[in-house]
Structures are given as structure tokens and as C-alpha cells.
Structure 1
Amino acid sequence: MPEYHPDRRPPSSRRPSFHDLVPENERHPAPQRSFREVRARRSRLPWIAAVLALLVVAGGVGIALRPHDEPRRATGATGVTASAPPADTGEQAPAAPRKTTGAEKNVSLAVFRSASPASVGQFSDWLGRDVDYVVDFSRRLSWDQIANPIDHLSLWRNSGYRVVYGVAMLPEARSDTSTIAAGARGEYDQYYRTLAQNLVRYGQGDAILRLGWEFNVANSTWHPDDPQEFITYWRNIVRTMRAVPGAQNLEFDWNVNSGGDSYDSTVFYPGDKYVDYVGVDVYDIAWADGTYPYPTGCGAPCRRQRQEAAWKAALNARFGLIFWSDFAEARGKPMSFPEWGLWDRPDGQGGGDNPYFIEQMHDFIDNPHNNVAYHAYFDYDVGEKGDHRLASFPKAGKKFARLFGEQT
């Protein structure tokens, strides 16, 4: 995620994104049996077996029908593969009419706009559609802050929103010496018992908890080294919180940062009994050749080609969106997008005002095969590290409102 901390706004740093999840010398060795070994990625539906050739006698022209994309992989009317760019005139060809399934309207809509119910209400008014869930992050510098986030619980009490909380697995204070290994021994269970009791007391016993969100990012405070310790600790927390009277409706989102080709996060999956959602955070950023930053003089066709290449990388990386959709289905879990968004970055590695990314995310969410339960746009300015706010992107903001807003 773009680093957000309620104790310091805007933040001074961010966690790395998928291109640098783990430095080469810190990558965990491949597991003996990974997800890809126990279940191969689903094959595409068969392509059309033969190409029909109809000769138009009068014109002598052969018309060949192109094979159709398999519905499981298609993400929209525009597809994900960049075609040969037209002449760079600065104008973009009109988009083809878009088709939707209507499934997206049954997916719960969330937003992150800092800890501000009023700001969330403004977002709903702008969109013309009620927000179902809100994303928030409580303070986490100490165990007391993790266990007793009373200010945040009070803020969302009786708000009408279901809250998705980022819940730390370890305090982030530099002086704290807590470890995942100690958590696996049950030494921190008391704090999560208190947290569950507080959630129930403040009427949020149905909250969704992103426990140790983005644990697969290299410099996360709770980035794990040992899979079994992480799994045992996660299970301890879930069992402890579920045992609190009134907390039986708490749900737990096992939430990774998407992308990359080297880091297999699935070795840290704690088991189906302890997970309710497979969550993926994804932003419009890329470091691959032919993506971002845009070169000088890059007009509309040039930008579109690079945006398509960036989306294709996000979708098709070894641990990209298709991988996580397949993994969630294999585990019998719905997907979620607890954070997603555009990114205008000072280093140019984000797509900026990119309606194409909005379209493709909409189509992925709208595809019922991906079984997305909820998604949250990260509508926040992270200061010196860049901006995600839809208000900062006129074209993409308009596209978001049209696709995700109330349609009459």
C-alpha cells in the first residue's frame, strides 16, 4: 500500500510495490509444494478449432473469423493486449461500446478517505451511490494502540458502514522487540482478545480485519521469514478473537500486495478455516520496459499503449491478478481489493490520469468468474510519494463515476 499512518499524515515513506517485494538476497526459498504444484492454473476454454474462410465471390476477398478470448481471462471490451499504435496525432480513437455483466453492482463498494465519515459521505454524494464499507487503519505504535483503538472505534460506531480495518501483527515502534515467533507461542493473544472485545463493545463485531496486510512486502514490520511461525501466529489470533462472545461475525482478509514473478506468498496461507477473503492490493504502477514513465512527447496513442502494457503485466505476472483469482477459487474463497487505485508519482512510475486502468479494474470486478466480494478505492493524497485522489484525475475520475456510480 502507499504508506498511510494515522499518527503522521501525510506519511514520509511508503512500502515497496510489487517490483521490489523482496530483495534478491532476502527471498524465501521456494516451498516443497506450492499452489502451482498442487493445482495447475485453469486452462483456457478451447479456441475455435478451425478458422472459417468465406470467399466473397464478387470481391474475391477472404474473410477470416478471429478466435474469441476465453471469458475467464477477458477483462473488457477493449481487451488487455496492446495493438499496433496509430499515428501519434495526440488524438485517441473513439472507444467501442462497452459490455458489462451487471455483477459489479452486487459487489460491495468501499473507499479509503482517511478516518472521516464526513469525507466518505462526500464521496458517496459525488458518486451518486451509497458506499457499503469503509477502510481504516488504527494506530499501531504499541500493543496498547493495537488492542485499544478506541478513537477509531468511536468514530465509526453507528456510522452505517461496515468497517474494514488494517490490523497490525506487531507494533511499529522502532524500540519494540516483539516477534512473529513470540506470537506463534501465544505471547500476544491477550491483545487480540482485548481488540475483539472492543470491536463488539463498539458495535463492530462484524468488521473485516486485514490482519497483517501486505505481509509479503519486504520492509513490512511483520514480513515473515518462517512460514510455519507466521501461519501459527495467524491461527492463534483468529482463534482468540473468534472465541470472544459476540465476535463470531468477524471476518479475516488474508491480504497480499499483488504482482511480481519471484515471491510465492502462498506458502504463508494459514488455511481455509482461518481465512474469509483472499485480498489483493493493486495500483497502476509498473517498471517493465514499455510501461512507465511516459517518455517526453508521449501523446494519447503512446500513453494508451503503455497503459495497456502496464495492465497486462499486472494481470499476467506469475503472481498477478489472474494468479490470485485462480488461487482464491482453488481455496473456495471470494476475492477482495482492500486497496486499489491510480497513482501520480514524482518518479513517474505511475500511470497518472489513466481511464484505461479504471475500465480494466471495473471489468475484472464485473466478471463473476473472479468472485470479488468487495473493493475499496484508495482516494488519498500520500504527499511527497504521490496522489491517488480521483479528483486529481479528471478523465479517470469521470470514468470511475460513470462505471461505478449509480446507473439509471
Structure 2
Amino acid sequence: MSRRGRRLAGAGTSTVAALLLATGCALATPPRGASGPHGPRTEVAVGAYLHYGSPGVERMQKLSRWLGGAELRAGHTYLPGDTWANIEGAPDSLHSWARWRKAGADRLFVLNVPMLEHNEADVPDDQVAELLRSGAEGEYDHHFQRLAERLVDLGVPDTVIVLGWEMNGFNYTHRCRPDPESWQEYWRRIVSAMRSVEGQRFRFDFAPNRGGDAIAWTSCYPGDDVVDIIGMDSYDQPPGHSFADQVTQPYGLQQQVDFAKAHGKRISYPEWGLFRNGDNPDYMRRMLAWIARHKPLYHSITDYCPHGVWQCSENPRSARVFRDSLSTGKKRRPAHRHLP
């Protein structure tokens, strides 16, 4: 998503429906020992990005009620990329997320982790390239080891790490284009540093923007041994004026699925939602059907304006599709609810 949008958030077919009712509220690849009434869970974990900090945890239960009691098993948040201290896991909100994760054996905690500080500071390409080279040489390994130690100490050693998300774009300091080879080596060093911590069971999610953007995301891929999941952030916006375009465009949804299959990886959608095409129920139906068909490990809708369906009153038709598809049917509430 846009950097401005995430910063503001911190301050905030019957067949398709049947498929989603069956798959929408459980975990795809559970932590060791997690199981359902008939054995290990094999379904999709549903989540939503609801707030940058602890309010995101609090709103999970409210969103669940809006969905008629459907349990959300994917909890999703971000570490700020302003300082190394925050990238090391300083935010107090991690305690709240750790408590949420440990309250259910089959829950999935998803954490976006920046690769560099000053991540939204419009750092020019030449400086980014220099920073990436320093990272590739190991200068920042200790920051990520500290993060791994903190997560293990908090009791969430199985966190899904969405590392350096949207690396194929133009904006984040952790972008790939200024030096793809150094970026790849830097990713490898981060994963090695985090995996060196005793007790960890992290999974690393490589999640570019949909489409070509600043560089083909395949040019940034660091290798099968250091990637566990092939994710994609995909909003209803160009390139891809229709959902069919979003599927078939170069480096689009179909290429993600094909790439993941070729590399033996699960897929995910850490960020998805409405955007420049406004309240678009057809997009919502088709994206939910795509998810039901391809069964990602998890998906997390971005739920604040203009992307959202619950906290944003601007998208009532899409909200109705989302809610009708995922609701357990236990309760009926208005199609949208705006939270301050």
C-alpha cells in the first residue's frame, strides 16, 4: 500500500460463498501440534490489517463479531521502519500481538519487517545502493538477531516474517532496484541471522507489489533456501483495470501462482483491498473467488479507507460482498461500520 496510507492507519455467487465459508476462517499450515476436530488444519487463514499498533489487536474481535462470529486466525501488523530500535522489535504493541497469538494454538502472527531504517524517508537510489551493499556485507545482522531473540522471548517463534515487502517498488528505502544482487545477499544475511537464534521457527514471506512496478520482482528473488512463502500485495488499481487484467498482466496474480508452484512454495496475500477503482463489488467477488481457488497460506485485507470494508463507510457494496462471503451467519449487522 502507499506509505502515506499505512502511516495514517497507524494513527488507523453462491459457490464462491460456500467455498469461503468452508475455507475462510482456519489456518492453512498450522504451528506444530495445531489441529482441528478432524486432524491438522489445512485451510486458509483469514486476517485484516486494522491498525498499526495495539488497537489492531482489539479490533480483531470487533471485526469477528461483524462477520457473525467468524474467527480470524491471521493477525497482521508492521514494525516501524524509522529507527533500528523499532526494527529490533521495540514497539510495546508486540506484547499485545504475542498474547493474541498464544491465545489460540492455530493462530498465525504475520509481521512485516523493514530491512533498513529511515524506510519512508525518500532516500535516493545511490544511497540505497550503498546501504544495501553494507547490509550484504553483514553490517546490520545484529539488528535482526535481536529482533529474532525478542520474538522468541515473547513466545512467538513461529511468526511469519514479511521481510522487505513491496521491494519491487519505487518508494521504500529497502527497495531492490538500486542494486538487486546486494539486495538478494542482504535478504540472505537477514534470514541467516534470524534463523541462528535458538528456538526460532520463522517463515519468511517474499511479498512484492503486483505487476512490474520499478523492477520485475523475479529479479529480486533471493533463493528457495531463504524463502518459505511467495506473497503478493495486490490492490484494485492499475496496472490492471479489470480483475482479469490483474491476473494476466506481467508479474501479476497468475505469475505469482505459477512461480510459487515452480519453486515449491505456498502463496499469500499480506495486503489486498480496494483502491483507485472505488467501491467495486465485482473486484471483491473475484478476488475472494481467486483466494478460494488457490488457497494461500493466509490473506489479510487492508481495512481502512480507501481500501477497507468494515472501518470504511465509503465501500458499502464491496463490504456486503465481503461480509456475506465470510460471515458465519450467526448475526446480522449493517454492511459497514466506521470506527474513529
Give the TM-score of the pair, scaled to structure 1: 0.66
> Are 1:402 and 2:324 matched, yes or no?
yes
Task: Say whether residues 1:237 and 2:200 are aligned partners.
Answer: no
Instruction: Tell me the CA shift for residue 97 of structure 1.
Output: 5.1
Report the CA distance between 1:152 and its aligned residue.
2.3
- Is 1:135 matched with 2:76? yes
Aligned counterpart, 1:71:
none
Question: CA 1:131/1:193 → structure 2, altered by over 3 Å: closer, same or farther?
Answer: same
1:155 deviates by 2.0
One-letter identity of the residue aligned with 2:93: H
Name the structure where helix makes up a greater proportion of residues: 2
* Aligned CA distance change for structure 1 residues 287 and 150 (closer, same or farther; 3 Å): closer
Equivalent runs, 1:270-349 vs 2, <5 Å:
270-286=222-238, 291=241, 310-343=242-275
**Could you tell me which of 62, 65, 74 is aligned with 1:125?**
65
Q: Give distance in 1, aligned partners of 2:267 and 2:83.
A: 31
CA apart distance, 1:206: 1.0
Could you tell me which residue of structure 1 aligns to residue 48 of structure 2?
111
SS in 1 for 2:297: strand
Is the 8 Å Cα contact of residues 104 and 365 (structure 1) preserved in structure 2? Answer: no
**Structure 1 CA distance for aligned equivalents of residues 300 and 239 of structure 2:** 24
Q: State the Cα distance separating 1:388 from its structure 2 match.
A: 2.8
Q: Distance in 2 between matches of 1:235 and 1:263?
A: 19
Could you list the runs of 5+ residues in structure 2 that have no partner in the other structure? 25-42, 331-340
CA contact (8 A) 2:48 2:75 kept: yes
Distance 1:152 1:398 in 2: 31
Shift of the 278–151 alpha-carbon distance from structure 1 to 2, 3 Å rule, reads same
Superposition deviation, residue 320 in structure 1? 0.9
Alpha-carbon distance, 1:2 to partner: 2.8
For 2:108, the equivalent position in structure 1 comes to: 162
Compute the displacement of 1:387 (Å).
4.7
How many angstroms apart in 2 are the aligned matches of 1:378 and 1:148? 22
In structure 1, what is the Cα distance between the partners aligned to 2:194 and 2:4? 25
Q: Which residue, 264, 280, 292 being the options, matches 2:216?
A: 264
SS of equivalent residue, structure 1 residue 401: helix
Distance 1:239 1:261 in 2: 28
2-structure distance, mates of 1:232, 1:209:
17
> d(CA) in 2 for partners of 1:341 and 1:210?
18
- Structure 1 residues 191, 97: CA separation in 2 closer, same or farther (over 3 Å shift)? closer
Q: How far off is 1:371 after superposition? A: 4.1
Q: Which sections of structure 1, spanning at least 5 residues, go unmatched? A: 13-95, 292-309, 344-349
Q: Deviations over 1:277-298 (max 9, x none)?
A: 100011111266xx4xxxxxxx
CA distance in 2 between counterparts of 1:199 and 1:144 reads 14
**Residue 335 (structure 2) aligns with:** none
Query: Residue in 2 aligned with 1:91?
Result: none
1:375 is aligned to 2:299:
yes
- Shift of the alpha carbon at 1:188? 0.4
Aligned counterpart, 2:8: 9
Question: Does the CA-based 8 Å contact 1:4-1:11 persist in structure 2?
Answer: no
1:149–1:325 distance in 2 versus 1, CA, 3 Å: same
* Rg (Cα) greater in structure: 1
Aligned partners of 2:266, 2:184: CA distance in 1, in Å? 20
TM superposition shift of 1:355: 1.2
Instruction: Rate the CA distance shift 1:175–1:214 in 2: closer, same or farther, 3 A.
Output: closer
Aligned residues: 291
- Write the distance in 1 (CA, Å) between the matches of 2:270 and 2:116: 20
In structure 2, the partner of 1:33 is none
Contact kept in structure 2, 1:362 and 1:404, CA below 8 Å = no
Kept in 2: contact 1:261–1:319 (CA 8 A): no
**Aligned AA (1:122):** K
Q: 1:362 aligns to what?
A: 288
Partners of 1:9 and 1:364 lie apart in 2 by 29
How much does 1:389 deviate?
3.8
The 1-side partners of 2:58 and 2:10 are apart by 22
Q: Distance in 2 between matches of 1:204 and 1:138?
A: 15
When the two chains are superposed, the root-mean-square deviation of aligned CA atoms in Å is 2.5
| Aligned-residue identity in percent | 31
